[in-house]
Chain A
Amino acid sequence: MGTTQSGIHGGRLSPSDYERNFSDLHPRLDDHEALVAADRCYFCHDAPCMTACPTTIDIPMFIRQISTGNPIGSAKTIFDQNILGGMCARVCPTETLCEEACVRNTAEHRPVEIGRLQRYATDVAIAGNHQFYARAERTGKAVAVVGAGPAGLACAHRLAVMGHDVVILEAREKSGGLNEYGIATYKAVDDFAQREVDYVLSVGGIEVKHGVKLGRDFTLADLTANFDAVFLGMGLAGVNGLGVEGEHLPGVVDAVDFIARLRQAKDKAEVPVGRRVVVIGGGMTAIDAAVQAKLLGAEEVTICYRRGKEHMNASPFEQDLAASKGVMIRHWLQPKRVIARDGHVAGIEVEYTELVDGRLAGTGETGVLAADQIFKAIGQTFEASGLGALSITGGRIAVDAEGRTSVPGIWAGGDCVKAGEDLTVTSVAQGRDAAESIHRALAAAVQPAAAVA
């Protein structure tokens, strides 16, 4: 088959090529590498890395624990703040978070490898199935969590630890949200996402129901009637359309669907990919789709972004990664029309763009890129159906700093709210903080009786 056959096919590569392409991007540090990497940390006071972490992990402390041969203590330091610290260690854009803040950059332009060290410690703990948390005495309160993504899992875990009973209602067949269906394959290899879910749930007190969807199988009112509190962590279920002619032709696919299929494929050779692939978009999803298309054996992969390099949501690190895999990134191009041949995608007509008085406009100059497959990666949208009176802002659920929605008793966090960046780690922070807020609210509700007695 090979990389040069036109059309959309699987099996373009040899099994060993697939294996190599989809192996770990940053393999786990071995013990000695971890000690050496840990030794570079200065144990900063009021460390800037810690401030830069959305979950405020005590980074200098966990690194020091690694350097003293105490990876289990290190893992607990991480999990205390971020129960999904294992996944975050793999997927966080550390170059724009903790590692960007590391003071080592100032002198040497090379930060402490915080992400890889975090992975080292969390891997040791998860592999050994170390359970750090015992549930507090049962409170008798029940909380419903919608969505088993990072936000929902973090919220559920914190609530369970504090003694509440949690039921997670999840539309898909597996838990994990985008950890399971969205994250690039080479960031979370093998079944780590599921192992991590099992690890999180092993604390007890959390029941997960799969295949049940808010708005289809139950309503928000059902939840408020049956639970003491509700947390919404549904992420972004919708995808923006291109809004151009030919968008619905076979061969035009949602990048997120493509990635989900790839993540679920046991044998990567089963995932078909075009010889020439064009990805429309400029964010993390566009990069992930483009890189993985290339890794599946596409001969030519081009990302078309309608603005300049400096406007891309994808970090320079990710852009470099894409370039290193042979992905071509082109700027100032917007889609005009998908071109068909024999009822199938044959190319895409694009138009050059420019900024006119700060607004994006087509220049009128067009061209055609040949393509057998086109990925749409121009953003996900929040599907707000079935949420009743809940306030929406900027297309997502409106919440305050603690994650409270406009309706008492309902909290929300993660990608479905308008706050922070759409990142795994941000979602974990919001889920965790909402759990604390829920706990305070539930405790306040029982207080008067206790005070009288």
Chain B
Amino acid sequence: MADLRNDFVGIKSPNPFWLASAPPTDKAYNVERAFKAGWGGVVWKTLGEEGPPVVNVNGPRYGAIWGADRRLLGLNNIELITDRDLYVNLREMKQVKMNWPDRALVASIMVPCEEESWKAILPLVEETGADGIELNFGCPHGMSERGMGAAVGQVPEYIEMVVRWCKQYTRMPVITKLTPNITDIRKPARAAKAGGTDAVSLINTINSIVSVDLDNFAPNPTVGGKGTHGGYCGPAVKPIALNMVAEIARDPETYGLPISGIGGITTWRDAAEFMALGAGNVQVCTAAMTYGFKIVQEMITGLSNWMDAKGHRTLDDIVARAVPNVTDWQYLNLNYIAKARIDQDACIKCGRCHIACEDTSHQAITQFVDGVRHFEVMEDECVGCNLCVNVCPVENCITMVGLEAGTLDQRTGKPVDPTYANWTTHPNNPMARQAAE
């Protein structure tokens, strides 16, 4: 049995599955249920300053994108940080941590960008026995209009400054949660590191308008006739999050900085992918909000069974294993040649590969052979782009087959070159460096 125990910047949990700071972690009632269901840790719903709490809208907070069977693919929200009193939250956190000493409990915090505010709240949090803090520099709506959340996360200097205050005023590990609403995610990550953060977590939600109510001509969710941009999350954002995690994991300046991966994680496989790209653990929100806490059991057994099948014993065996294989486009091997191949026994003759290739790509798939409906790759036209594989509705029906070195590429009429050669040395590249020099 694989060992799923997780040690993230010294915070221990029985498995790497944490609930992200969000409605599922807003109060003791939910968190107790989550721990009973098996979650390894929680990041408590973001705390605000002492005093009257923020208020949420009293109309709809969510919008969504669905598949045909109403499977939720993307969720958008305009919720703010906790709207409960700070001391109520702190009391509950303390009690829950006492009840569940083996689980991770991290406090998420968002207070104004002033030293005094951070200095004031940190000892209060420390007193609860929380294992660490997460700085919410991510919320793209509402709080950012007040100079918090993404408004901080989009300015690397502010990030560095706040992280530094936190490291100064608390002994707790500091996790800096980044906003994806920025052009180059490496910049805020570097700033957090410069401020002394113990880890980064990402992504927070993506600025979005999820849909428009065409009867009322207003964005959804519509509150009294008007809507605003919200934060996008759920399965749809996973590819964006994966890339951002990888960018930080492979950036020489932040290399080795612990990452808590967040964004669209719904299954054990999603989690494994994040970890392979460098996340030391993962956080989940939308999947739990969609299906309830029980899904963690699938995540635990799925990850464990996969690790057993592959011979991975601990999480260290998988974390960051894919990072060395993420590279820049310019270093991809231009001498690697692959051709699509259609398994005629699996082909159901829908013709989608043909029309996709014919209309939008390289005219490399037949529709008829000898007058009979038959879809076959013409190797002399196929550039190996992989579009057909992606539009084919049958799994494994079309595969990409790499040509052995020395075999003839029928498209170019040349044999496949066994050497590795990339764009940096390509004759068409005006900037090409002379390899030999």
The chain A residues found within 8 Å of chain B, CB to CB, are 32, 35-36, 38-39, 42-48, 67, 103-104, 106-107
Question: Which chain A residue shows the least CB distance to B397?
Answer: A107
Q: Tell which of B68, B352, B394 touches A45, judged by Cβ atoms closer than 8 Å.
A: B352
Give Cα distance in the complex from A249 to B355, angstroms: 63
Minimum Cβ distance to chain A for residue B394 (Å): 6
Given contacts A35-B69, A36-B68, A67-B68, contact A42 B393 (CB under 8 A): yes
Q: Tell which of A38, A48, A104, A107 touches B68, judged by Cβ atoms closer than 8 Å.
A: A38
Q: Do A36 and B349 touch across chains, with their CB atoms under 8 A apart?
A: no
Q: Do B67 and A44 touch across chains, with their CB atoms under 8 A apart?
A: no
The chain B residues found within 8 Å of chain A, CB to CB, are 67-70, 346-352, 354-355, 367, 373, 393-394
Minimum Cβ distance to chain B for residue A71 (Å): 14
Query: Top 9 closest A-B pairs, CB basis?
Result: A39-B68, A45-B351, A45-B355, A106-B348, A103-B348, A44-B350, A42-B350, A103-B350, A35-B68
Minimum Cβ distance to chain B for residue A225 (Å): 49
Query: Could you say which residues of chain B place their CB within 8 Å of the CB of A47?
Result: 351
Contacts A/B (CB < 8 Å), 14 sampled: A36-B69, A39-B67, A42-B393, A43-B352, A44-B351, A45-B350, A45-B351, A45-B367, A46-B367, A67-B68, A104-B348, A106-B347, A106-B348, A107-B348
Question: Which chain B residue shows the least CB distance to A44?
Answer: B350
Q: Do B349 and A103 touch across chains, with their CB atoms under 8 A apart?
A: yes
Question: Which chain B residue shows the least CB distance to A32?
Answer: B70
Q: Do B351 and A46 touch across chains, with their CB atoms under 8 A apart?
A: yes
Query: Could you say which residues of chain A place their CB within 8 Å of the CB of B70?
Result: 32
Minimum Cβ distance to chain A for residue B389 (Å): 15
- With most chain B CB atoms within 10 A of its CB, the pick from A32, A36, A39, A45 is A45
Q: Do B69 and A44 touch across chains, with their CB atoms under 8 A apart?
A: no
- With most chain B CB atoms within 10 A of its CB, the pick from A36, A44, A67, A104 is A44
Give Cα distance in the complex from A47 to B367, angstroms: 12
User: What does DSSP make chain A's interface, helix, strand, loop or mixed?
Assistant: helix
Minimum Cβ distance to chain B for residue A35 (Å): 5
Minimum Cβ distance to chain B for residue A44 (Å): 4
Query: Could you say which residues of chain A place their CB within 8 Å of the CB of B350?
Result: 42, 44-45, 103
Query: Could you say which residues of chain A place their CB within 8 Å of the CB of B347?
Result: 106
Question: Which chain A residue shows the least CB distance to B346?
Answer: A107
Q: Do A48 and B69 touch across chains, with their CB atoms under 8 A apart?
A: no
Give Cα distance in the complex from A106 to B394, angstroms: 11
Minimum Cβ distance to chain B for residue A9 (Å): 49
Give Cα distance in the complex from A35 to B67, angstroms: 9
Given contacts A32-B70, A36-B68, A107-B394, contact A42 B352 (CB under 8 A): yes
Give Cα distance in the complex from A107 to B343, angstroms: 13
Query: Could you say which residues of chain A place their CB within 8 Å of the CB of B393?
Result: 42
Question: Which chain B residue shows the least CB distance to A46?
Answer: B351
Give Cα distance in the complex from A104 to B393, angstroms: 10
Query: Could you say which residues of chain A place their CB within 8 Å of the CB of B355?
Result: 45
Question: Which chain A residue shows the least CB distance to B395?
Answer: A107
Q: Do A39 and B394 touch across chains, with their CB atoms under 8 A apart?
A: no
Question: Which chain B residue shows the least CB distance to A107?
Answer: B348
- With most chain A CB atoms within 10 A of its CB, the pick from B69, B347, B350, B393 is B350
Query: Could you say which residues of chain A place their CB within 8 Å of the CB of B394?
Result: 107
Given contacts A46-B367, A107-B394, contact A39 B69 (CB under 8 A): yes
A106-B348, A107-B348 given; 17 more Cβ-contact pairs under 8 Å: A32-B70, A35-B68, A36-B69, A38-B68, A39-B67, A39-B68, A39-B69, A42-B352, A44-B351, A45-B350, A47-B351, A48-B349, A48-B373, A67-B68, A103-B349, A106-B347, A107-B394
Minimum Cβ distance to chain A for residue B186 (Å): 39
Query: Could you say which residues of chain B place their CB within 8 Å of the CB of A32?
Result: 70
Q: Do B367 and A44 touch across chains, with their CB atoms under 8 A apart?
A: no
Give Cα distance in the complex from A39 to B71, angstroms: 12
Query: Could you say which residues of chain B place their CB within 8 Å of the CB of A35?
Result: 68-69
Q: Do B352 and A44 touch across chains, with their CB atoms under 8 A apart?
A: yes
Query: Could you say which residues of chain B place their CB within 8 Å of the CB of A43?
Result: 352
